[in-house]
Structure 1
């Protein structure tokens, strides 16, 4: 995500209207950040390639996931995947040997007896050569199976009902690629554009796709076969405000996150009121109203009772006047103990709002980093509720985490 030194949030609805929310000066306590390790830029095995970060508009396909203290970085620009421990030691390299130099630890050496040996034979590092094209989103299940979104070569794109089908999900078991998951399961046809992928506590894969109607969810069993297919149509989404106002209400399905244990989805919907110009009496824009999270049964397709998510509020003072601005948070994810995580950018980094699904208790903390220096970032939420991030500056990429799980534990014990 590209950022400037002074961050404002712009929300676009149907590509027509925008809502600014700037001058964020709310005081939110920060949570300690642990800087774990950093990666240099380059072509070697323990380096990343993010192209020219100084150019605005680059579409960067580098994402991070954390599982049990191990980090998995999918670097689409260099066509490789890194598995590393929390000290930054490279454990496994999945790479396209046609696009990358041979790893240094894979080079040949002469031992004391004069015989040629491979360094890899005496190394704990593993190399897996696979013709990766453009890997992006990544996640890992409890078996350490790695799932990564892969882009089909352009000449192999497929179409269906005016949808371009161009992405699959590869599976790696630590030794090799064990095939791909498509719409019908193992070896299936490609997906529409994939927004994100998740694994549940039951080792089930959930693929969230963006389609013309809204979002489509493909839910697979532990062995990779289809369990549920749910289309979340924006036109049919619930609208609790429609009977409470005389003006039109627009809605945006911002994100969908699967439950970690049950066949359930959490659908975040932002609602906006229509603004009418007093002079011309015609629609002049929209104004943010509220955000709801709806549980959605993946089997029946029925929505449950919603939860209202408080907006991010900012008071702007100009002279003797004050004006209140409200903005919706982005839905980052939900932990295995049912705490929902929401984020929004500020001048000091990101504010995270953590909401307990059962009691509606709320925690707000600042994830602090220097927006002047960080030109790209990617967040990851673990099942335990730890927020990890890849923070890229012009000089290097840092891997950090915030122990929000400890924060929640302390709250529950108090």
Structure 2
């Protein structure tokens, strides 16, 4: 199970003056480092001018193996937790010939570390199922994209399916195998029985495509901008969808909606802005399309300076994802890292923790939440990439299911 938060700026992290002394720190394990560059054992994050590329870099973790999709480098790689590069799927027109890994066209007996050529265009979001099959977002080849006039969306994405050995199996579009390209993909998830979930954002709303393990489309869930749910006891609130993600072990969607309320100047009775009102996670049973439960999300109380004094300000958590047994992970950026909130969808219990991310590691961050609750991260400095993870057992072990 995964969901990530991407680029993190220094200003964003320093927004949250937090009560960190009251929050237990989750032990961080630094796994290994990767150099930044174009070689097979490197990850390409920056263009020639040294700026971050617009192309995505994403990670997934399954059974202790770490998968990295590198859009700027046109490749997908797999490492073990000790930092050994095990295989690479790569565009041979964008990458130099591999030196460490054997190429798939070399007949040299049993090989445990290999490179497999495939014409990747712009690999992006990645997910891995229980078979260790890889699903990765990619841009369609030039000339195969099209414009959806009804939804005002460019259809230029597809999901590539590779087997455990990194060999291409098929690609998925909206209707399933070989289907119409997707619009903007914002999430890919694997669920029960190796079902695949693709979440897309359109100007008109969100489309979620739910496939079985063979690539057959089971469900299409459409949420229009006008259909964002609002609790009946909250009048005149303005809803914004924060995250939409899938359960790793059930046919359920989790929709986090943040609600704002307009504020008015008392002296002129004119609108002066808006302020956070509340936040709710809506849980949908995909088979029926009905929201079966809701979970109220508390605010993160951030300390800010106003008129030379510290005051508490209510801020929204963002949803990171859901793990088995319906534990919901949320985060808020604070000085020195992130405040983590874990909620149980079945009870009112909650746990808070803190994960450390150093200031020098803020060039680029991407995170992955496994179905068991291991939080992995790719953290980039100016010179290297650090692969780390946090085991959250100490926080989730005593939350009632």
Do the two structures share a fold, i.e. TM-score over 0.5? yes
Offset, 1:238: 2.1
2:10 pairs, out of 5, 8, 12, with 5
Greater displacement, 194-203 / 359-368: 359-368
Which stretch has the larger CA shift, 305-314 or 78-87?
305-314
- Residues 16-44 of structure 1: per-residue CA shift (max 9 Å, x gap): xxxxx544454322111000011001221
What is the SS of the residue equivalent to 1:155?
A: coil
Q: Give the aligned partner of residue 3 of structure 2.
A: none
Q: Does residue 51 in structure 1 map to residue 46 in structure 2?
A: yes
Instruction: State how far apart, in whole Å, the 1-side matches of 2:355 and 2:81 are.
Output: 19
Offset of residue 8 of structure 1:
5.5
> 1:371, CA displacement in angstroms?
2.4
Structure 2 residue 369 is matched with structure 1 residue 381 = yes
Q: Provide Cα deviations, 1:114-156, integer angstroms capped at 9, x if missing partner.
A: xxx9696464202110000000000000111100000123432
State which drifts further: 227-236 or 196-205.
227-236
* Contact map agreement 2:46 2:52 (CA 8 A) in 1: no
Deviations 1:70-102 (A, max 9, x none): 010001100000011101111111001111111
Partner secondary structure for residue 305 of structure 1: strand
Select the structure of larger CA radius of gyration: 1
CA distance in 2: counterparts of 1:119 and 1:84, whole angstroms: 23
1:152 alignment partner in structure 2: 140
Instruction: Name structure 1 gaps, 5 residues minimum.
Output: 10-20, 109-116
CA distance in 1, matches of 2:280, 2:387: 32
Q: Following superposition of structure 1 onto structure 2, how do residues 180-329 of structure 1 map, counting pairs within 5 Å?
A: 180-240=171-231, 243-245=233-235, 248-316=236-304, 322-329=310-317
The Cα RMSD (Å) is: 2.4
Q: 1:372 to 1:151 in 2, by over 3 A?
A: same
Q: 2:123–2:139: 8 Å Cα contact kept in structure 1?
A: yes
User: For residues 267 and 151 of structure 1, what CA distance do their matches in structure 2 show?
Assistant: 26
- What runs of 5+ residues in structure 2 fail to find an aligned partner? 1-5
Q: 1:390 to 1:57 in 2, by over 3 A?
A: closer
State the match for 1:102 in structure 2: 97
**Higher relative contact order at CA 8 Å, sep ≥6: structure 1 or structure 2?**
2
How many equivalent residue pairs? 390
1:24–1:372 distance in 2 versus 1, CA, 3 Å? farther
Equivalent runs, 1:108-147 vs 2, <5 Å: 121=109, 123-147=111-135
1:405 CA drift (Å): 3.0
Following superposition, the deviation at residue 201 of structure 1 comes to: 2.7
The answer as to whether partners of 2:7 and 2:366 remain within 8 angstroms in 1 is no
Distance in structure 2 (CA, Å) of the matches to 1:60 and 1:344: 25
Bigger Cα displacement from structure 2, 274-283 vs 385-394: 274-283
- CA contact 1:4–1:371 (8 Å) conserved in 2: no
* Paired residues of 1:80 and 1:135 also in contact (CA < 8 A): yes
Calculate the TM-score normalised by the size of structure 2: 0.91
TM-score, structure 1 as length reference? 0.88
Partner of 2:157: 167
In structure 1, the residue matched to 2:77 is 82
Task: Go from structure 1 to structure 2 and tell me whether the alpha carbon gap of 1:255 and 1:390 turns closer, same or farther (over 3 Å shift).
Answer: same
2:341 is equivalent to residue 336 of structure 1:
no
Query: 1:59 offset after TM fit, Å?
Result: 2.2
